[in-house]
């Protein structure tokens, strides 16, 4: 029987054929808990009466949203997390290494075909390497910690095909924003997004991560890219026959199919205050801005910082505009330092912060106030996300963000 990628991954996990709508119990290959949720997970885990973790080696605890602490209560999360680690013997803990969704694939915790759950909605990111990954709440996480299992409904799949060569200033961020605009914020609710086409095949894993990360903004349960040689190189592994076979069958059945010609795509922005409020950058050129943010689990990778540096090299950030750059992980930070990218950004006037979530979740590192406007490369522009409810947040690619920082207004790179 023909199958989509998500159907094949679940079938591989549960040992039987499945179809959309089936309720099945899957076995977790890995789970991730971040610092915001650890107190609630720990409390619920003990309330459920569990005495030990089902497998401490499959649990990853990452401190990223609250590092370094910006409010007094933040330290409680660290203390509870540390106590949980000591009591239950967790072996994978990251206290200041970067953002969870960057670290999980980067550190090798996720492999093609894995089933992974995390206490953050952007856990969909790991589909970049062909894993079924999805965000869950702290009650569900506590249950998995004790049992190693989770029930799910097999999702229907929307297939998204992109073909052709992307224009110079169009990136994977522009593609996923365009898709979210076309689908709407609820257009893929509890569905799998499956990406295909020669444009997608040419993308780096970093670019695929950007798209998988933002799938949740259309309501998707997961986002999937078929494992290939780029996946194998990134994961530092040789794909098994099973992993190679995860690609969808040619005659697989989809609930909807969407196709884009890459040549027709243009740089776009998600405008305040919804991620599906998409407009071409050229329609908003000249709108004054106060700040630019380049970073987050969406666009804080080396590829993104280098794209921004290419635009900023030899230029200066516009007067009265703050440019904040936050690498997604310590590894990205070090690589960007070693290849000169951070020097270019610093010389242009960027404020370079420690790796972490920072401004994306409105905790630290540049929150704004009434009437201010920011162009940002992260994944959400909801009211109050980066300060007060009267802050205007425009989501963009690193190239558009960097060009806007130089212009002091919304601008297209190269124009």
Q: Give the span between the Cα atoms of 252 and 276, in whole angstroms.
A: 28
Q: Give the span between the Cα atoms of 42 and 209, in whole angstroms.
A: 29
Would you give the distance in Å from CA 325 to the centre of its chain?
17
Cα dihedral 394, 398, 399, 402 sign: positive
Nearest to 100 by CA among 395, 390, 371, 361: 361
The answer to whether domain 5-262 and domain 268-407 are alike in fold is yes
Would you give the distance in Å from CA 16 to the centre of its chain?
30
Spelled out in words, what is the top-level CATH class assigned to the domain 5-262? alpha beta
What local confidence, expressed as pLDDT, does residue 70 receive?
Answer: 86
Q: Give the span between the Cα atoms of 12 and 115, in whole angstroms.
A: 10
Coarse DSSP helix, strand, coil percentages of the chain, rounded to the nearest 5 percent: 40, 20, 40
3-state SS string for 258-277:
EEEEHHHCCCEEECCCCCCC
Length of the chain: 415
Q: Give the span between the Cα atoms of 295 and 46, in whole angstroms.
A: 36
CB distance 128 to 105 below 8 Å: yes
What local confidence, expressed as pLDDT, does residue 166 receive?
Answer: 96
Residue 365: strand, helix, or coil: coil
**Fold type of domain 268-407:** Aconitase; domain 3 (3.30.499)
CB distance 171 to 204 below 8 Å: no
Write the CA distances from 361 to 207, 290, 331, integer angstroms.
22, 18, 21
CB distance 414 to 393 below 8 Å: no
Q: Which residue in this structure is represented by tokens 């499959």?
A: 58
Q: Give the span between the Cα atoms of 391 and 372, in whole angstroms.
A: 5
Give me the residue spans of the domains in the chain: 5-262, 268-407
Pairing of strands 59-62, 30-34: parallel
Q: Give the span between the Cα atoms of 18 and 9, in whole angstroms.
A: 10
What local confidence, expressed as pLDDT, does residue 358 receive?
Answer: 87
Per residue of the chain (415 residues), give pLDDT as tens.
Answer: 799 999 999 999 999 999 999 999 999 999 999 999 999 999 999 999 999 999 999 999 999 999 988 888 899 999 999 999 999 999 999 999 999 999 999 999 999 999 999 999 999 999 999 999 999 999 999 999 999 999 999 999 999 999 999 999 999 999 999 999 999 999 999 999 999 999 999 999 999 999 999 999 999 999 999 999 999 999 999 999 999 999 999 999 999 999 999 999 999 999 999 999 999 999 999 999 999 999 999 999 999 999 999 999 999 999 999 999 999 999 999 999 999 999 999 999 999 999 999 899 887 789 999 999 999 999 999 999 999 999 999 999 999 999 999 999 999 997 5
Nearest to 206 by CA among 397, 411, 10: 397
């Amino acid at each position: 029987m023909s199958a989509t990628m998500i159907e094949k991954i679940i079938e591989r996990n549960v040992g039987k054929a499945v179809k959309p709508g089936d309720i099945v119990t899957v076995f977790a290959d890995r789970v991730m808990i971040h610092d915001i949720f650890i107190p609630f997970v720990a409390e619920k885990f003990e309330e459920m009466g569990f005495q030990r973790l089902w497998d401490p080696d499959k649990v990853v605890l990452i401190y990223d949203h609250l590092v370094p602490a910006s409010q007094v209560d933040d330290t409680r999360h660290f203390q509870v997390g540390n106590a949980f680690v000591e009591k239950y013997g967790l072996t994978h803990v990251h206290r200041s290494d970067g953002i969870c969704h960057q670290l999980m694939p980067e550190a090798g915790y996720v492999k093609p075909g894995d089933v992974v759950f995390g206490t953050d909605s952007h856990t969909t990111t790991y589909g970049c390497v062909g894993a079924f990954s999805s965000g869950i709440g702290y009650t569900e996480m506590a249950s998995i910690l004790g049992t190693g299992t989770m029930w799910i409904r097999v999702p229907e799949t929307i297939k998204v095909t992109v073909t052709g060569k992307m224009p110079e200033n169009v990136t994977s961020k522009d593609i996923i924003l365009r898709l979210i605009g076309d689908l709407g914020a609820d257009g893929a609710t509890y569905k799998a997004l499956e990406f295909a086409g020669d444009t997608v095949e040419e993308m780096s894993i970093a670019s695929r991560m950007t798209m998988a990360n933002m799938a949740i903004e259309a309501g998707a349960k997961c986002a999937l890219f078929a494992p290939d040689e780029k996946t194998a190189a990134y994961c530092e592994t040789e794909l098994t026959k099973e992993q190679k076979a995860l690609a969808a069958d040619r005659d697989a059945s989809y609930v909807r199919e969407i196709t884009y010609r890459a040549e027709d795509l243009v740089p776009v922005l998600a405008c305040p205050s919804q991620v599906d409020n998409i407009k071409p950058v050229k329609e908003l050129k000249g709108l004054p801005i106060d700040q630019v943010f380049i970073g987050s689990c969406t666009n804080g990778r080396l590829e993104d910082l280098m794209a921004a540096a290419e635009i900023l090299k030899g230029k200066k950030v516009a007067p009265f505009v703050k440019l904040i750059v936050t690498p997604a992980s310590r590894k990205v930070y070090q690589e960007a330092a070693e290849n000169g990218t951070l020097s270019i950004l610093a010389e242009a006037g960027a404020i370079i912060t420690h790796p972490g979530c920072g401004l994306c979740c409105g905790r630290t590192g540049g929150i704004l106030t009434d009437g201010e406007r920011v162009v940002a490369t992260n994944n959400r522009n909801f009211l109050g996300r980066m300060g007060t409810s009267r802050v205007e947040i425009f989501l963009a690619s690193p190239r558009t963000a960097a060009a806007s920082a130089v212009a002091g207004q919304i601008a297209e790179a190269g124009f």
